[in-house]
Structure 1
Amino acid sequence: MIKLHKWRRILALIVVFAIALTSSAIFSPRMEAQTPPTNPTTELRGIWLTNIDSDVIFSRNNIIDAVNRLDKLNFNTIYPTVWQGGYTIHPSAVAKRVFGYLNDPTPALKGRDVLKEIITAAHQKGIAVIPWFEFGFMAPADSELARLHPDWLAKRRDGSTIWKEGVNDRVWLSPFHPEVQKFIQELAIELVANYDLDGIQFDDHFGLPSEFGYEPLTVLMYQKDIKARPSNDFRETFWVRWRADRINDFMGRLFRAIKSRKQKCIVSLSPNPLHFALPAHLQDWFSWERRGYIEELIVQVYRSDIKRFNVELEREEVKLAKGHIPTAIGILTGLKNNSIPLQQIQEQVQEVRKRNFAGVSFFFYESLSNWANETPEQRNLALQELFPTKMQRPPSEGRI
């Protein structure tokens, strides 16, 4: 007689095989791949704007100066953080109700609506603004959100909740908890309803590290669904697949809620490559793309080696996405302690263009000129050569 764990392994193989078969299936008549034009008339030229290692959002004048600079450099999309460090950057009645803070309490942000300032300045220059949920389901371990809602926190099998991000202690909100889902959806809908935004973006934090998911409520949901306890091995195929599918379901509901509130709002995603995103963070973004839950994809390909960079551009799921929705590549332009050479940035943009992607987005604004070995003037000149003329971003409505 075959034991239960063997049956589960057989079932897991069947599920994986079924997923592989359906990955190339056509879920929509608009998903047929088309050959991109050799001389594109649009190109996504994006930049992420955050409040860490950057002073831009801490004064209205800084925002205006940054937008004017991006306009001169012919960028056409700004992705400003709005959910970071356990706070909203913009005034949020939802955040106030859930954990007591209207927005980030940093003095320079008090009494201001930073998102409105960015949208106003950018739209005057014809630059799209797509607010970015930078922290996703993550929060600082010492945040009011974590303190007030300990039952929302995801747990490892040993009951621990702390996730180390560098020197920082983080926690993760369980994406399977109905109240967590409600909170995240309400934050998103509040943005869509209150601002003249062009879209909303989620990223690699819109998932859960696979070592988490053993909180009592999630275990109970799994037992009710599967009639067995989750595997002790958090990497076990079926346990990974079950949790990823629950997040898939939530993403579908969130997409429909956003579109029902504002049909023209682009739902954007900036994930890690799928071969890491799914097993490590339960983020099955390829299913989201196939099912139509996202309308713009920017794959973060932060690789210094050009061969490794190109391998990511050639992956089958990326090629399939490129034939369905505007698909761009996220390129690292530098960090405070990690200068990226101009030559690397230029070469990577060239490889992206060679493959007819929808464009690029740079991480992040401050590193366009700061912390580099080249002078700011040299960096600006190089950017002007990359984007010599203005160009519209890919269509905001409809698919390729």
Structure 2
Amino acid sequence: MAKGSWRYSVSKPTVQILKSIVLMVLGIGLTVLLSPHPGLTTSPQTFPEIRGVWMTTNDSDIVRDHAKLQEAVHQLARLNFNTIYPVVWNSGYVFYPSGVAQARGFQPFIRRGLQGQDVLADLITQSHQKGLLVIPWFEFGFMAPPSSELALNHPQWLTTRQDGSQTWEGVAGEVVWLNPFHHQVQQLIIDLVIEVMTLYPVDGIQFDDHLSLPVEFGYDPYTIKLYQQETKASPPNNPRDEAWVRWRANKITQFVEKLQKAVKEKNPKAIFSVAPNPYHTAYNRHLQDWVSWVKKNLVDELIVQIYRPDLPSFVQELTQPEIKEAKAKIPTGVGILTGLRNRPIGIQQIQAKVQVARQNGLGFAFFFYESLWDEAPEPIQERQSKFQSLFYYPASRGFLR
């Protein structure tokens, strides 16, 4: 063998062994890369990572314009998002042509896009073409503005405080509350949900923290009579009385059972999604016992709204035991605020929350689309680049219909 030259032969078995080792290493690498939570084994059961965004009434200009919507869906797909939650029930009105709303006499008009299109149908078609799930969001739940036709035409459907007052102030402004214990109110919500599932190839439906009732309500004649029939007593004067809270929370849970049953009878594969507040707030302030819903297998997807401004309180909420229990059963994520019109949020804070949620085996949904990058403190290109670095691999959830 000449100096400076290296020659050697390798047997065929050795080549095969080397090939096997290389393939094994590549397989491990791809498994880590494509797993829902890279490098994590946080629960016995793993699900595709939820990467969702709520499209709200704030996004109406985008959703109503075909070209703008096309661009929005394209960007979400390009950046490896996988779910859109478009609002279909807000302010006492629906955002699609609804025979139910017209028959109940609370919506004399039909909302359409700028080009005359059915907005929800357009959104679903474009999203499915790009591989994104569409889960319509019934944002207002049991709420309605006091000036809406729904409230004005059906005053018997409203519930009250002990002093008879009806209005309530929240992030949506002044509203009244439909009585979640009234059979006609329950049927209205069920009918709207089934109508959406009948008219459109949706991948599920979602309710949030307004599938509930503020704890001070429930003193209307209908509910008092129902309570007296079942308990042989009048409701306590203290709205936070433990038994009174539990009775009302149980009634809402019973309605969720009816609603979930109707959804599953319509489409067994439809995702029944809920996006409540953290449990201590949901139950004690809004009679929303979503922990029971998860335990009763009524929920297919849970996204807990954790809109905390600082990271320590955000981490404290997402590490609660009820969230840990939920993520072992169903796809679970956290709601992350990406900004409001008068309160932009920097991308570094968003990145930190995504990373800590992922480290805890959780997905995420962002509130709301326009604040992802259109209305943000950083340039659009920088924001989109940061999201791309967070979602550098696809996480397809697949269509369930």
Q: Extract unaligned runs of 5+ from structure 2.
A: 1-39
Q: Does 1:275 align with 2:280?
A: yes
1:54 CA displacement? 4.8
Paired with 2:113 and 2:134, the residues of 1 have a C-alpha distance of 22
Q: 1:172 aligns with which of 169, 174, 177?
A: 177
Q: 2:123 aligns with which of 118, 126, 132?
A: 118
Paired with 1:227 and 1:200, the residues of 2 have a C-alpha distance of 37
Paired with 1:182 and 1:142, the residues of 2 have a C-alpha distance of 22
> 1:99-121: per-residue Cα shift (whole Å, max 9, x none)?
2426555x756953111010000
**Residue 171 of structure 1 aligns to a residue in which SS?**
strand
Paired with 1:122 and 1:84, the residues of 2 have a C-alpha distance of 22
Q: 1:45 aligns with which of 42, 51, 70?
A: 51
Match of 2:146 in 1: 141
**TM-score of the pair, normalised by structure 2:** 0.86
Q: Does 1:353 align with 2:361?
A: no
Q: Does 1:155 align with 2:167?
A: no
Alignment of 1:253-272 (within 5 A): 253-272=258-277
**Residue 137 of structure 2 aligns to a residue in which SS?**
coil
Asked if the contact 2:133/2:398 (under 8 Å) is kept, the reply is no
Asked if the contact 1:172/1:208 (under 8 Å) is kept, the reply is yes
Q: 1:70 aligns with which of 62, 71, 76?
A: 76
**Residue 58 of structure 2 aligns to a residue in which SS?**
coil
Paired with 2:386 and 2:132, the residues of 1 have a C-alpha distance of 21
Paired with 1:249 and 1:181, the residues of 2 have a C-alpha distance of 11
Paired with 1:103 and 1:279, the residues of 2 have a C-alpha distance of 38
Paired with 1:225 and 1:41, the residues of 2 have a C-alpha distance of 42
**Residue 55 of structure 1 aligns to a residue in which SS?**
helix
Paired with 1:40 and 1:291, the residues of 2 have a C-alpha distance of 20
**Residue 52 of structure 1 aligns to a residue in which SS?**
helix
Asked if the contact 1:95/1:103 (under 8 Å) is kept, the reply is no
Asked if the contact 2:66/2:115 (under 8 Å) is kept, the reply is no
Alignment of 1:239-254 (within 5 A): 239-254=244-259
Alignment of 1:1-400 (within 5 A): 36=42, 42-52=48-58, 54-101=60-107, 108=113, 111-165=116-170, 168-357=173-362, 359-393=363-397
RMSD over aligned Cα atoms: 2.1
Matched residue type, 1:350:
Q
Q: Extract unaligned runs of 5+ from structure 1.
A: 1-33
Count of aligned positions: 362
1:389 CA displacement? 2.4
Match of 2:15 in 1: none
Asked if the contact 2:42/2:360 (under 8 Å) is kept, the reply is no
Asked if the contact 2:272/2:299 (under 8 Å) is kept, the reply is yes
**Residue 241 of structure 1 aligns to a residue in which SS?**
helix
> 1:74-131: per-residue Cα shift (whole Å, max 9, x none)?
11100000001111001111011112426555x7569531110100000000111000
TM-aligned CA distance change 1:270 to 1:337, over 3 Å? same
1:370 CA displacement? 3.1
Match of 2:26 in 1: none
Paired with 1:229 and 1:110, the residues of 2 have a C-alpha distance of 55
**More moved, 57-66 vs 215-224:** 57-66
Aligned residues: percent identity?
Answer: 48
Structure with the greater alpha carbon radius of gyration: 2
TM-aligned CA distance change 1:268 to 1:39, over 3 Å? closer
Paired with 1:54 and 1:183, the residues of 2 have a C-alpha distance of 25
Structure 1 outlier segments of 4+, above 3 Å:
34-41, 102-105, 107-112, 394-397
TM-aligned CA distance change 1:132 to 1:102, over 3 Å? farther
Matched residue type, 2:388:
Q
**Residue 166 of structure 2 aligns to a residue in which SS?**
coil
Asked if the contact 1:264/1:396 (under 8 Å) is kept, the reply is yes
Asked if the contact 2:105/2:149 (under 8 Å) is kept, the reply is yes
Asked if the contact 1:329/1:352 (under 8 Å) is kept, the reply is yes
> 1:128-175: per-residue Cα shift (whole Å, max 9, x none)?
100000111001110000010000011011111111235832111000
Paired with 1:74 and 1:102, the residues of 2 have a C-alpha distance of 39
